[in-house]
Structure 1
Amino acid sequence: MKLTILGGGGFRVPLVYGALLGDGGEGRITDVCLYDVDDGRLGAMARVLEEQASGRPDAPRVSLTPDLDEAVRGTDFVFSAIRVGGLEGRVADERIALAEGVLGQETVGAGGIAYGLRTVPVAMDIARRVAALAPEAWVVNFTNPAGLVTEAMSRVLGDRVIGICDSPVGLGRRVARVLGADPATAWADYVGLNHLGWLRGLRVGGRDLLPGLLADPEALGSFEEGKLFGADWLRSLGAVPNEYLHYYYFNRETVRAHQEARRSRGAFLREQQAGFYEDLKRPGTPALATWRRTLAEREATYMAANREAAGVGERAEEDLEPGGYEQVALALMRAVARDERTTLILNVRNRGTLSVLDEDAVIEVPCLVDANGAHPLGVDPLPGHATGLVTSVKAVEREVLEAAGSGSRAAAVKAFALHPLVDSVSVARRLIDAYRAEHPGLAYLRHP
């Protein structure tokens, strides 16, 4: 079985390869092809993976290529984790948005829209190449904004593209840990869009343990989301929101914290990763140890501005392990390739699961996964406050898709203006003009 990783020089690739090394079952991935447009990054990742595979004669073979067609031709799975515009693009997204007093985060608000506008056309091109060269392949999308990009690719690939994210995995794991439950067996009642979802229940043996957690202020204050949102707000919601909802519920505080930060998250990652890749140019650098050290620093500083805004200090040690998206990807591939039925929280087409959205809208919900793909499971309707946010943000995503497909500047302006975290049509117009001036990849937005 062959796995192609798009964005194969990306920093998180060793997480995926590490998960593959732990899979010794029949029908496992035996060949990994890394595709990237940056030869230097590809070479660095190859060194890390070589050290990971040391002493493992059964390790999946690794090949490198800068040619997309070569990478996807005849593959069984495609793992998409590209970053259009690189970290330089992310830094610009953050800077331009914050100058207008709105959020520049790469998946939420103005920054997410800008990222989506330059990523969707590239993702659509990739989907068309996969359809032509590997029509039986399954695409596992981790490219952000994950829900939006998955929906874009589904217009070409249908249900053969499935989006994954580590946020729901991490949330469920943290809540289960506090409740003394096994995350592997507890049922998470989670529903929403990517980076816009709520954990509404955690069931063990048919019993929902979440009400007990919501009634316990001390327990609520012992994990990441409880610290971010506060016990009173979680009790008011009757649910535990995805951490990214902090940008919505505490928008003024988070924007201010981002504006006052010494450097943005994108700028931090740009500097950190530049140092990492530079270090790996030196032959004597221990590649795997350097990667692990850099990963630990990356995880410790995750959402630092939000924690600053909430006044909760540094992340707890138990929250520093990576979210686990690589395990979700492995479980997904195993279920499809071997018909090992499992339940995972994934980004898939709605198919009537949420009545407030149409059939083709990509949502993030628990899914049954088997050899025929991922099938969303029935969920209770969203409460009114959540319905409002979900439908508003989905409308924004649809305007992004319209703009990307037609080249309409007006649709792009509409996407910015309709977002709950952008408070003015005038701001929306200035944003699109500033982003077009900054990013050559947005030159296609020319028409009315």
Structure 2
Amino acid sequence: MPVSLLSCEYLVVTESVHLSSFLLVVNSEGFNDVTIEFAFEPADSSINYKNTITFYSGQSLRESLESLDVLQILGEGADLTGTWVRAQRPVAVIAGASFDCVFMGNEKCKFRDMLIEQLPPVSDLGQDYVLTPFSNENKVSFVKIVYVTPSTTFSGLEHIQMKESTSRNTSTFLYFQVEAHTITHLHASDPVLIVQFVLPPFNETILFDLSATVLYPISKWVNRAEILTFDDNNYEMIIIASCLCIHEIQIGVDITELNTLSEPEDEGGTSRYCSKEILISSNDLENKIEVNGESCPFTGSIINVKRSVSGWAVPLVNFHYRVDEVSPSPTPLVRVNLCPCSCPRAFYTHRDMLNRTALSSEIAAIQSYLYVLKEDLSKTVRSKTSATDDRPSSTAVGFLVFVCTFFPIFGSLVLCDLYKALCWLYH
């Protein structure tokens, strides 16, 4: 993710069942104060920072970072989901699990793998998402929904069976399996962060096959996306869009369509969106995959497939670049349609800013910063001074005015007094 898209506030999601979860905070530039507010699962877990300080759930860690410094947290046996990262300047946050498994209730941990994601900032989160599984029978999908506020409520999940063996609900997250061939339009009362985990069915022969990808809300859907792949393996892609335009989406490489879910029945508000799942079997355009929906906003993810196991999974997302050709420079100028400003008052959340006390203090600070004394204004200073003019013509005109105006008046007074003085000396 480019530096221009980084932010100052992040909500963390990890997945740790038996071993360690980790959190990396990377400072982009300049001196930066970072605060981490911990939340652990189980709640009685703790971590040791730098082998000297022990932190428990609800406590905060504060560090000052210099340019390109990395702050690393290792949660041994603790899930860091629900932890908050806040900084004065933009930072990048990377979180994941170190060779661990995905929660499956009473099932044993049969699949272990690295699960690492760069997390989107809180400003990119939303309230409306579409959840859909891979229809391929070789894939099982779980989603982990992390709450911005503990009082978050949901609509659209009424038709999902929350089985005890495949679901978990805590004060910081909701975890459940996405049912096959079911598309869910999820609406949350507050912004949430959703990560989808993809794993094979329970099979004793496959031990390393876990993938994870961040889901983006409907407000962040795009009309165009590009994926630059790593190798020449096959890729499986799932695209989600409105059922009215799902067939208009074009893929810029050779594909073999696997399945297109037709419009589902209206159960819990799930009839608005459909998905198209495709297998990319030939990719000869310099390993770049292009997706174009023209007037059809879409989302989705792509997963690497090699034989019966998968490698990585990434979301289809557009970072809203605008490239302008500038002549005669041979290099196009890349502009990002985002505010490049740093994040003032980063330790205030979006809810704190709605608080009257915090808001009034912010207004008072801004007024104090913008206040200027009237006597210091350039207009006031200029009104009491005259500008100089060193031109010869101006000097001549001034001398002539002095001779013709001031000399006869003041000269007559001086001559009168001088005449009296001479008379007195003479007598």
Task: Give 1 or 2: higher strand fraction.
Answer: 2
Larger radius of gyration: 2
Normalising by structure 1, we get a TM-score of: 0.23
Question: Taking structure 2 as the reference length, what is the TM-score of the superposition?
Answer: 0.24
Greater share of helix: 1
